Structure 1
Amino acid sequence: MEFEKNMKVLTEDEVYRIHMNVMEVLWQIGIMVEEKQSLQLLEKNGAKVDYEKQRAYLPADLVQHCMSVKGHSFSFYDAFGKKVIDYGGTRTYYSTCGYTTTYVDQDGISKEGSYAALEKAVRYVETIDEIDMMQPSIQACDIPSENQDLYMTKALLVNTRKPTHAIANSDKHAEGLIMMHAEIAGGLENLMKKPRHLFNICTFSPLGIRKDACEVIRTAAKYNIPCEFSTGTMAGATAPVTLAASIVEAFAEVIGHIVLAQCYRPGLNCSLLSANRIFDMKFAACTVATPEYAVIKTAACQMAHYYRIPIGCIGPCSDSNEHDAQFGWEKFMGGFVCRQAGSNMEFGIGLYSQLNQFSYTCLALDAELIRNLEKIGRGMEVSDFTLAFDVLEEDAGKGEFLFHNHTLDNYKDEFLAPVLTDRAPYPNYQKRNGKNTLVDRANKQLDKYEKAYNYTKGREHEAELQKILDEYAD
């Protein structure tokens, strides 16, 4: 059987108690909403609104109605209209995330993010089968900040067929992103039927919806484009220090956004991205790879399943500043826990240093990690064939099975062949004299990815994409 995705830290009673606290927060404390138009819409749908404080108080019946009519699962399609992701099912998918302002190149030097560096990252992701979705990992700092969101989306559409996940800075830019996707999809109607894009909309902690978020939600609703609400509460900084309270705050924020989205378009597909974490008091740092982080992610998955919200987690991530042992155990800890807790998507591929640094090398390392996670997750098959009684009976007296046809025919399916992992005996390792390190092997793998790149559809539409971008640029 497969490794069951049933990791839990909350009992059913604790899940319900957290839910009741979320409902109380939404009604008694309310959500700050920075835009009058959205406040008016919430009031029209039954919320109590204080316009002076810019605060909406959401009654239980409104919340329950909106949570019942939203999409509970939905699909994403690639540039050719092929369904490639069922978001909200039982499978775990993997994606980049980021917007780091710097990145570490293959020469080991940290450099300022650029449009060309982002394009290079997207091309690698296109060829790495283990990565299912692409969010801009590197910020295009050489582009004026007011238009970076448009250019970064263009970099995605030109260089990969895979589904995209990106931010928009305003309603105007959100529409521009949609029109660029429609260009690749062959029209708006095709895009609305087979969505390829997921808007990433960050909540504003504590308990707030920003003006730009209101604008993007409204535009996404107009064109029926899914929204993912990313909550990044920091226990001890932007949320109470206790983990349970930080979960309550996070889900109150997400549900507040979902309610607004459903008021604009009932049934709009919505999901959440859990980036909830703790603020490290020793290092004064916003961490993403602590034991508490793993607990928070597990609790977030349980609550998302309770509300039937598709959930992505910042999973395989690290607080380490280099590709060392700490990097390895933290990446595995987050990746394994989130997968086994039932996260539908794991974000963070290619990132480390508290999500503040990206490297191409890390993409290759994380691909190896994903292969291992998914091999563990497949568990083992138990059948007459795999129990192999006849093989054992035949060869038990010989003392070895190495050259048996059963071994030769099945070891490639039964065992995961490492791509980067080193399992050489120690004497062989000593003979290398420090050469052919893990990082060396990862960089060689990047060369193979680069040679395998063959996507052309996006480049064929680049001129039209630029025209659309110019139309919507500030």
Structure 2
Amino acid sequence: MGYQIGLKGLFTRFLRTKSRDAGISKPIHFKILEGERMQPRLKILSDPELLKIDQASRALLKEVGTYVPHEESLEIFHQAGANVDPKTKVVKIGDRLINQTLSMCSSCVRLYDRKSDEPLLIGGDRVYFGTVGIATNVLDFKTNEYRQVVCEDLKDIIRLSDVLEPPDFILVPGTPTDVPSAIVDVIETKFLLMNTRKHFIAEAQNRENTKKNIAMAVEIAGSLEALQKKPFFSTLVCLTSPLTLREDATELIIESVQLGLPLFIESGPMCGGTSPATLASTLVMANAELLSSFVLAKAVNPEVPLIYASWARILDMRAATCSHGGPEFPLLRMATTQLGKYYGLPSGGGGILADTKSIDVQLGMEKLGTGLLPALAETNMVVGMGLFADENAISLETLIIDYEITGWIRRVMAGIEVSDATTDLAPFIEVGAGGSDFVSLKHTRDNFRKEMYIPTIMDRGFLALDKDPETRTMRKRAREYFGKVMGTYSPPELPDDIESRLDAIINR
């Protein structure tokens, strides 16, 4: 106890020697440096295993094929050289067409925002974190009770996503239930356009709503050419397992790629449910589904930017639910990322997710595990911030906790810099053998922020025995931080009549 008090006093004196940061405290962004520096990275599959999965996926597409209940898409596949059965609507794809498609894919996709000319470079060893949607429930910030998501909830979480860094991009973080289901996707896009400057991934239910999303984005960009030059949004395509390219998904692909706008295409089979009960077979099928969708997209437009993404998970045989927080989820993400790298494709997929229904210890455990492992595998776009309860709920506090978790992950990814500067003997010489401490050195003041992750809401303070532990929970600290950080939000600068113009597009 005496040592702890002495250390506290020592740090108090040290902090008085430097000016304190003004405004909102934010974690340092640790950069992933290029060159010979060693940084922690993980691979889950060997080269022979990657080859085996690739060969099995190709055999699956050649011998079993994929079901495509859409006449226009069947004709596109036929013209591209696939074997199309017009009666069964099954498309079989050979090696030549797969290889031709992969040769047209870029290893790096540029995703722009509306606040700078610097794009997110999706590919290589770069890792970005983003939110994700789907949920129709919210854990209410004020009442601590679950209720259905409404439009104001979506606006709140978009605005919070805009001020936090990360998320680096925003995938629609919630599904409002107080608007007609036929237009909920375009309402979501409108809110994203009006409340964030960041790159976002939009959803669309069909071709008509895809057109509306694009038309609204053109209103913001000023012209279609400007949007095509610097696309500040991309579109989510969710594939159906087993081995199905739905009509709405194919229409969405065709409409977007005709204009050269980027697609985030993901396959999400459930191991033991909509795919065989082995992880390897699930990988084989997910890969086959993604390859078939890439063939369709590149047959329409060879230049369209595509991101190879995965939401593969397991069916929990005891609970009869999908598990997103278990160890299999990040294992499948790591393996799919390796497959993407094997083909030279930018990768994406789920992470920072949890099955728990409460903001509790399980949430932290699951979110760190499902976020850290894909990041160490270099999944380029990890999506899941703000989402929990097995994809069924979002909350403002969870998004802030995830913001902290991603900062922690980035510090791990940065590794340890070993150089002449970081191993310099000068501080040892200054303190000397048997010296007191290094806390008060200028060397410490110059380096501690570069080397040490300084959290925003994690509790690293001294134990106060006279305080109720419940007053020091992470959720409480997240709620307090929300009040501070939202004071820094400012909406995008838009024309006064922009909302009426967007509404006119939605209602036409």
Question: TM-score range, shorter-chain basis?
Answer: over 0.9
Q: Once the 2 structures are TM-superposed, how far is the Cα of residue 283 of structure 1 from its aligned partner?
A: 1.2
Q: In 1, distance between residues paired with 2:378 and 2:385?
A: 18
Secondary structure of 2:470's match?
A: coil
Query: How far does the alpha carbon of each residue in 1:143-172 deviate from its partner, in whole angstroms, 9 at most, with x for none?
Result: 100011110000100000011112111111
Q: In 2, distance between residues paired with 1:352 and 1:430?
A: 33
Secondary structure of 1:228's match?
A: strand
* Residue aligning to 1:144: 180
* Residue aligning to 2:48: 13
TM-score when normalising by structure 2: 0.90
* Residue aligning to 1:337: 373
Structure 2 letter corresponding to 1:223: L
* Residue aligning to 2:232: 196
Structure 1 letter corresponding to 2:79: K
* Residue aligning to 2:158: 122
- 1:199-348 matches, within 5 Å, as 199-348=235-384
* Residue aligning to 1:44: 79
Q: In 1, distance between residues paired with 2:408 and 2:332?
A: 23
Q: In 1, distance between residues paired with 2:321 and 2:286?
A: 19
Moved more, 158-167 or 383-392: 383-392
Structure 2 residue corresponding to 1:56, chosen from 85, 91, 94? 91
Q: In 2, distance between residues paired with 1:5 and 1:254?
A: 28
Structure 2 letter corresponding to 1:212: D
Q: In 1, distance between residues paired with 2:487 and 2:268?
A: 37
Q: In 2, distance between residues paired with 1:150 and 1:400?
A: 60
Structure 1 residue corresponding to 2:393, chosen from 349, 357, 362? 357
Q: Decide whether the 8 Å contact of 2:107 with 2:124 is kept in 1.
A: no
Structure 2 letter corresponding to 1:417: I
- 1:365-404 matches, within 5 Å, as 365-396=401-432, 397-404=434-441
Query: How far does the alpha carbon of each residue in 1:401-423 deviate from its partner, in whole angstroms, 9 at most, with x for none?
Result: 12122112322222121211111
Structure 1 residue corresponding to 2:64, chosen from 29, 38, 48? 29
* Residue aligning to 1:420: 457
* Residue aligning to 2:5: none
Q: In 1, distance between residues paired with 2:364 and 2:59?
A: 40
Q: In 2, distance between residues paired with 1:423 and 1:303?
A: 39
Q: Decide whether the 8 Å contact of 2:172 with 2:203 is kept in 1.
A: no
* Residue aligning to 1:71: 106
Aligned residues: 470
Q: Once the 2 structures are TM-superposed, how far is the Cα of residue 273 of structure 1 from its aligned partner?
A: 2.1
Moved more, 105-114 or 199-208: 105-114
Q: Decide whether the 8 Å contact of 2:39 with 2:416 is kept in 1.
A: no
Q: Once the 2 structures are TM-superposed, how far is the Cα of residue 79 of structure 1 from its aligned partner?
A: 1.9
Please state if 1:437 is matched with 2:440: no
Moved more, 401-410 or 358-367: 401-410
- CA 1:138–1:74: 2 relative to 1, 3 Å: same
TM-score when normalising by structure 1: 0.96
Q: Once the 2 structures are TM-superposed, how far is the Cα of residue 223 of structure 1 from its aligned partner?
A: 1.1
Please state if 1:410 is matched with 2:436: no
Please state if 1:97 is matched with 2:132: yes
Q: Percent identity?
A: 30
Structure 1 letter corresponding to 2:384: G
Structure 1 letter corresponding to 2:119: V
Secondary structure of 2:422's match?
A: helix
Q: In 1, distance between residues paired with 2:388 and 2:466?
A: 29
Q: In 2, distance between residues paired with 1:6 and 1:249?
A: 26
Q: Decide whether the 8 Å contact of 1:69 with 1:267 is kept in 2.
A: yes
Q: In 1, distance between residues paired with 2:417 and 2:466?
A: 38
Q: Once the 2 structures are TM-superposed, how far is the Cα of residue 459 of structure 1 from its aligned partner?
A: 6.9
Q: In 2, distance between residues paired with 1:385 and 1:273?
A: 40
* Residue aligning to 2:206: 170
Q: Decide whether the 8 Å contact of 1:5 with 1:341 is kept in 2.
A: no
- CA 1:2–1:113: 2 relative to 1, 3 Å: farther
CA RMSD of aligned residues (A): 1.5
Q: Once the 2 structures are TM-superposed, how far is the Cα of residue 207 of structure 1 from its aligned partner?
A: 0.5
Q: Once the 2 structures are TM-superposed, how far is the Cα of residue 339 of structure 1 from its aligned partner?
A: 0.4
Secondary structure of 1:457's match?
A: coil
Q: In 2, distance between residues paired with 1:252 and 1:455?
A: 42
Q: Once the 2 structures are TM-superposed, how far is the Cα of residue 400 of structure 1 from its aligned partner?
A: 1.2
Give structure 1 stretches of 5+ with no counterpart. Answer: none
Structure 1 letter corresponding to 2:250: C
* Residue aligning to 2:31: none
Q: In 2, distance between residues paired with 1:29 and 1:165?
A: 32
Secondary structure of 1:435's match?
A: helix
Secondary structure of 1:328's match?
A: helix
Q: In 2, distance between residues paired with 1:319 and 1:120?
A: 23
Give structure 2 stretches of 5+ with no counterpart. Answer: 1-35
Q: Decide whether the 8 Å contact of 1:93 with 1:132 is kept in 2.
A: yes
Q: In 1, distance between residues paired with 2:112 and 2:58?
A: 35
Secondary structure of 1:198's match?
A: strand
Q: Once the 2 structures are TM-superposed, how far is the Cα of residue 89 of structure 1 from its aligned partner?
A: 3.0
Q: Decide whether the 8 Å contact of 1:5 with 1:339 is kept in 2.
A: no
Q: Once the 2 structures are TM-superposed, how far is the Cα of residue 126 of structure 1 from its aligned partner?
A: 0.6
Q: Decide whether the 8 Å contact of 1:98 with 1:356 is kept in 2.
A: no
Secondary structure of 1:346's match?
A: strand
Q: Once the 2 structures are TM-superposed, how far is the Cα of residue 2 of structure 1 from its aligned partner?
A: 5.8
